[in-house]
Structure 1
Amino acid sequence: MTSTKSIAAAIKAIPAKKDDLKKAFEELQAHSSSLASFTLQWKDLEDHISSIERSIEGRFRDLESKEKERPAAAVSPPSVAAPAMEEEPELDPRPELRSLCVKMDGKGLRMFINENRKDLMNLRKELNRAIRAASDPAKLILDAVEGFYPAKFKAEPPSEGDLANRRTCVLLLERIHVISPEIKPPVRERAKKLATEWKGKMSPDGGQNNVETLAFLQLLVSYGIMSEFEAGDLFDLLVPVAKRRQTVDLCKNLGLSDKMPDFIQKLSSRGKKLDAVKFVYAFELVDKFPPVPLLREHVNESKKIAQDVRKKGNNSAQSQNEATAKELAALRAVIKSVEEYKLESEYSPESLQKRVTQLEHQKAEKKRSAASAALTNPKGQARQQQANKRPRPSTTSATTAVAAHPTAPLSQTSLPLIDRASYMASTGPYGLTGNSYLYEHTGSAYTANPLGLGATRSPPRSLLYSDPLAGSSLYDRSGAYGSYSLSGGLPSQYNSSLYR
């Protein structure tokens, strides 16, 4: 297989071969007097060769970029068998998906994908084969993406369903670029009209997640209608999506490679220095745009932005936190770029890392200070104390329970109580004192008899019975409490309907 080195050597040999061709052409031109129809000029031939040369160089750059993106395992030494790079595998489409494409049902295809987005990973692998089954794939996709904007379009934020539908359209447009089907003139004309319509409806910010911008640019690429729009207009659309992974490929496919210096200048002037560095390397313009000065400018601009945030927020805690977060994000991004493009010898990341550590320390200190201030603040203290409180048994529960039952006799409140110490010392059934008292039904009157333990008191407790049982036979009787037994357990004559 031909290596990139041999291709590069062949490209370098083109100028010498062009000189040889020019000499041969001049010799041929010397005999042009005998050929009346020989009107070809060297300039015409040179322009033709130059256009071919530019095309070859563009494709070679694409090949080199793909080589760089290959994993390390794929560039292993010759002695080790390196696995071949494979494209994403294609799967046989499910019958309903294939049927929609065969029937040229573009709207149905779009709706089917929308309804099955949970299985998008497999659908993506099935789409290529399904679309190839259509009689006119380019027309099928164009029919599908005509529903990018709803029929009754309103300039308002799209719903979740609208966003999902637009992402589906982008996916379908990308398939056209992969499959490269024949695009017939009537279909191309329809695509031009659709592009003009989309540009008029596009949100000023490119739509949520810039999906409107990406769809528009992909439409131009897929149907080869880039020449309908000025490069400057396309650059204005590309700037907001410069951070996107696919933007570099979009620029190449839009035929903007020769105009990349202008685009990089535009990115830099709009404060997108990191994106500018990405395009500098993608289009091999390091000599024209040294990356280190761009990275340094990005760091300095991030400091100014942080100062402005603090100033606008009157140095409030919130504004300081926001400013710190912005500067930290910028520093980390620059460190990543330095490491990615191997610029450590020109721009040491140590000073950047020190600044990151300093900002993180300040952030932690402010957080601790805020926590301390909340505790010293009376309101903060009260909240903390309230959070630390634990529920305790109420000493008035028995009284509250009695008050909740107005039908109980007043004499019930004067019952003797067992001493708390005795209660804690010996526990019997139900967690009460070993020789606890139970209610004993003895006759027609309730009396408060002395307890067997002398003048001791029982622990306070809530009423034994709940409200719904207050009307039981226990409370309907007009008798009094009888003596309390220390034997534990219920007396045999306790046959209240409460326990039946």
Structure 2
Amino acid sequence: MASLKAISTAIESIDAKKEDLRKAFEVLQAHSFSLASFTLQWKDLDEYFNSIKSSIEERFKELESKESEADEELAMEESTPKIPESNGKQSHSVVVKKEEESEITPRPELKSFCIKMNGKGLRTYLIEHRKEQPLIRDEVAVAFKSSPDPAMLVLDAMQGFYPPNSKGDKDGELAAIRRTGILLLEQLTKFAPEISPQVKEKAKKLAVEWKGKVTTSGENPSEALAFLQLLAAYDLVSAFNVDELLDLLVQISRRKQAIDLCRALGFTEKIPDFIQKLTSKGKRLEAVKFVFAFELADKFPPVPILKTYIKESKKTAGEIRKKGNFSTQSQNEATAKEIAALKAVIKYIEEHNLDSQYPSENLSKRILQLEKQKAERKRPAATPAAKKPTGNKRPRFSPPAAYPKTMHGTTTIASVPQISHTQLQQQQQQHSSLLPDRVTPYLGSAPGPYGLTGQSSLGHYGSSSSGLYGVAGNPISYGGNLSPARSHLYSSDSNPPTGLYDRPYSYAAGYGLPPPQYRPPYYQ
């Protein structure tokens, strides 16, 4: 696939981009003091991105492994004609229909390689044009007609299938060589040429060599597929143990070529045993595919097999979650596998009209449930609301603003900073300790610092104290003493009772008047 390189490059750049994001996050976090609810930590984002990265890398590996199948999957949309059998053996005389051959014209390059018996050149050309392989593959079988010995031509193209110190299917170049080799073997089987004894003996030696190198773990399925295709193309099945070949066929059972390859190898009579082998190895979905392909539903009812497959897939998903300590990554992986299993079963139910025996409605509901759970895991956790200050914490007060300067040395009461009652009492006690049992010598004089006489306020007697609370009253000086509302100083009507001089000195606390230290002379 052409986009794999771009995907790989993008994956490699994840760490660098994440580092840039971390730096940006630290800059943002430096300003978090202005957001009371900013509780997100970098480790939370780091874990989230690591989970996504692991998931992407896992999917990318799956994509790489499936790349070897992509071309074959597309090409098999136009299924290969079923090969008639006689006594379990392939009848090569009717593999290629004459009508199809007349409609396909191979490109000149293919004919040239075939005429010159250049097997390696043919393989290289197909690798270079692998994007066009779904179209080229049918041309190859027709181009073989131009070759003096198609069987030998293909055998030459098989060189390099097992290079020394290879990484198997994980090696991109080697995987391309193997895919192309499988394509040539498939088309040779389809063309069914006459094979000379000498060429067949060479093919047998190559098959024995490959048999010893095929991995039985299923890690490199293209090896098993190519080996079995080699046996089918050169009619070499009788030279090997059938049970061993069936074990290899299990590895490639999920591939679309498996059905036709099984027929080409002459294994039709072995299919019932093969289906049991698949179910015993947990490949129940593949078993159902062979049940329908060889019309064995009466002997192997597909619905119980599908139900068991769903139960096993759910159990496997639970094991994945548990093994991953129920991390987000493990839960997503388990969910993806379970959803894939459910969709595969629904596809079989729809294709083979099994809904009356196994309704797919509950399976669809389960898919919606799993997708909803996955979507909820992607949502960020809700940010906690800012907490209100609790009981014993004292609110923070900002310092009082500078005392305003006024015109002609006067200040309006409304502009005076408000002082609490407790502060006024403390200041009152301080001054009363300096001048005990005394009041200001003059009614219009305010005490200064350390008990000294302050600036006279007699000039302000003409003003009214109205405006403080919207009620007209006696003029008030900055010394905090009451002033008569008349022009003369001592009026018999306004003399206060003698109890006035027995009370502690006050600065009209509670009316928002400034204490002595806020008087205008100190700020002008």
Residue in 2 aligned with 1:55? 86
Q: Is the Cα–Cα contact under 8 Å of residues 280 and 289 in structure 1 kept in the other structure?
A: yes
TM superposition shift of 1:372: 2.4
2:227 aligned with 1:216: yes
Q: Please name the residue that 1:178 is paired with.
A: 190
- What is the 5 A alignment of 1:33-52? none
Partner of 2:272: 261
Contact 1:102–1:133 (Cα < 8 Å) also in 2: yes
Tell me which residue corresponds to 2:362: 351
**Correspondence for 2:181:** 169
CA gap of 1:267–1:317, structure 2 versus 1, over 3 A, is same
Amino acid in structure 1 at the alignment position of 2:86: S
Match of 2:157 in 1: 144
Q: Deviations over 1:400-453 (max 9, x none)?
A: xxxxxxxxxxxxxxxxxxxxxxxxxxxxxxxxxxxxxxxxxxxxxxxxxxxxxx
Q: Percent same amino acid at aligned positions?
A: 54
Q: Given the superposition, is the C-alpha separation of residues 111 and 188 from structure 1 closer, same or farther in structure 2, using an over 3 Å criterion? A: same
What amino acid is the match of 1:108?
G
Question: Residues 59 and 363 from structure 1, CA distance in 2 versus in 1: closer, same or farther, beyond 3 angstroms?
Answer: same
1:372 aligns with 2:381: yes
Equivalent residue in structure 1 for 2:308, among 268, 282, 297: 297
* Matched residue SS, 1:344: coil
Quickly say closer, same or farther: Cα 1:127–1:59, change in 2 above 3 A: closer
Unaligned runs of 5+ in 1: 1-52, 64-83, 379-500
2: CA distance, partners of 1:242 / 1:157 = 17
User: For the residues of structure 2 that align with 1:344 and 1:87, how far apart are their CA atoms?
Assistant: 38
- How far did 1:194 drift? 0.4
Task: Tell me whether 1:282 sits opposite 2:304 in the alignment.
Answer: no
Pick the aligned partner of 2:126 from 79, 89, 113. 113
Q: Structure 1 residue 177: deviation in Å?
A: 1.1
Q: Are 1:341 and 2:372 an aligned pair?
A: no
Q: Equivalents in 2 of 1:348, 1:281: separation in Å?
A: 19
- 1 CA distance for matches of 2:99 and 2:289? 26
1:59, 1:367 → 2: CA distance? Answer: 54
DSSP 3-state at the match of 2:381 = helix
Q: CA deviation at 1:158?
A: 5.1
1:96/1:245 CA distance change after superposition, 3 Å: closer
1:289 partner SS:
coil
Q: Could you give the per-residue CA deviations for residues 453-490 of structure 1, whole angstroms, max 9, x where no partner exists?
A: xxxxxxxxxxxxxxxxxxxxxxxxxxxxxxxxxxxxxx
Counterpart of 1:339, as a letter, is E
Q: How do residues 75-94 of structure 1 correspond to structure 2 at under 5 angstroms?
A: 87=100, 91-94=104-107
**For the structure 1 residues 228 and 121, does the alpha-carbon distance in structure 2 shift closer, same or farther, using more than 3 Å as the test?**
same
1:188–1:223 Cα contact (<8 Å) kept: yes
1:318-373 Cα distance to aligned partner (Å, 9 max, x none): 322222222222112111111111111111112222222222232333333xx124
Partner of 1:360: 371
- Contact kept? 2:169, 2:222, Cα under 8 Å: no
Question: Is the 2:318–2:334 Cα contact (8 Å) retained in structure 1?
Answer: yes
CA shift at 1:56, angstroms?
A: 7.8
Q: Which residue of 2 aligns with 1:131?
A: 144
Equivalent position of 2:246 in the other structure: 235
**Is the 8 Å Cα contact of residues 306 and 327 (structure 1) preserved in structure 2?**
yes
Aligned to 1:194: 206
CA distance in 2 between counterparts of 1:268 and 1:231 reads 19
- For CA contacts below 8 A with separation 6 or more, give which structure has more relative contact order: 2
Instruction: Find the structure with the greater CA-based Rg.
Output: 2
Equivalents in 1 of 2:351, 2:385: separation in Å?
Answer: 48
Task: Measure how far apart 1:126 and its partner are.
Answer: 3.1
Distance in 2 (CA, whole Å) between partners of 1:334 and 1:88 is 38
Q: How far apart, CA to CA, are the structure 2 residues paired with 1:141 and 1:58?
A: 22
CA deviation after TM superposition for structure 1 residue 311, in Å: 1.7
Cα distance per residue 1:214-243 (max 9 Å; x no partner) = 111110000000111112111211112111
Change in Cα spacing, 1:126 to 1:346, as seen in structure 2 (3 Å) is: closer
Cα distance in 2 for residues equivalent to 1:58 and 1:95: 35
Residues 410-489 of structure 1 aligned to structure 2 (within 5 Å): none
Q: Secondary structure at the match of 1:343?
A: coil
8 Å CA contact retained: 1:90, 1:129: no
Matches of 2:336 and 2:133, distance apart in 1: 35
Conserved 8 A contact 2:150-2:193: yes
Q: How far apart, in 2, do the equivalents of 1:323 and 1:239 lie?
A: 24
- Over the aligned positions, Cα root-mean-square deviation in angstroms equals 3.0
- Alignment deviations for residues 166-185 of structure 1 (CA, whole Å, 9 cap, x no partner): 11111111121111110111
Equivalent pair of 1:88/1:125 in contact (CA under 8 Å): no
Contact 1:241 1:247 in 2 (8 A): yes
**Separation in structure 1 between the aligned mates of residue 348 and residue 271 of structure 2, nearest angstrom:** 20
**Distance (whole Å) between structure 2 residues aligned to residue 124 and residue 157 of structure 1:** 21
- Please give the alpha-carbon distance, in whole angstroms, between the structure 2 residues aligned to 1:58 and 1:223: 13
Aligned twin of 1:383: none
After superposition, the Cα gap between the structure-2 partners of 1:137 and 1:280, relative to the gap in structure 1 and judged at 3 Å, is: same
Inter-CA distance 128–330: structure 2 relative to 1 (3 Å threshold): closer
| Residues 107, 147 of structure 1: 8 Å contact kept | no
How many residues are matched? 299
Displacement of 1:301 in angstroms is: 0.7
The AA in structure 1 aligned to 2:381 is S
Helix, strand or coil for the counterpart of 2:86?
helix
Residue of 330, 333, 355 corresponding to 1:322: 333
Report deviation, 1:102: 1.7
Within 2, Cα distance between the matches of 1:158 and 1:329? 24
CA distance in 2, matches of 1:122, 1:296: 39
Q: How far does residue 203 in structure 1 lie from its aligned partner after superposition? A: 3.3
Judge conservation of contact 1:103–1:134 (CA < 8 Å) in 2.
yes
1:308 aligns with 2:316: no
- 2:211 aligned partner, one-letter code: K
TM-score by length of 2: 0.52
Change (3 A) 1:377 1:228: farther
Moved more, 161-170 or 114-123: 114-123
Deviation track 1:142-192 (CA, whole Å, cap 9, x = no partner) reads 122233233x45465653222111111111111211111101111111111
1-structure distance, mates of 2:132, 2:312: 43
CA–CA distance in 2 between the matches of 1:205 and 1:348? 36
Deviation digits for residues 63-115 of structure 1 (CA, Å, limit 9, x no counterpart): 9xxxxxxxxxxxxxxxxxxxx99748754344443232222222222223223
Contact in 1 for aligned 2:207/2:230 (Cα 8 Å): yes
| Partner SS for 2:244 | helix
SS at 1:372's partner residue? coil
- C-alpha spacing 1:220/1:376, structure 2 compared with 1 (3 Å): farther
* Alpha-carbon contact 2:169-2:175 (below 8 Å) kept: no
Which whole-Å CA distance do the structure 1 matches of 2:384 and 2:187 have between them? 63
Whether the 8 Å CA contact 1:91–1:126 is kept in 2: the answer is yes
Secondary structure, counterpart of 1:183 in structure 2: coil
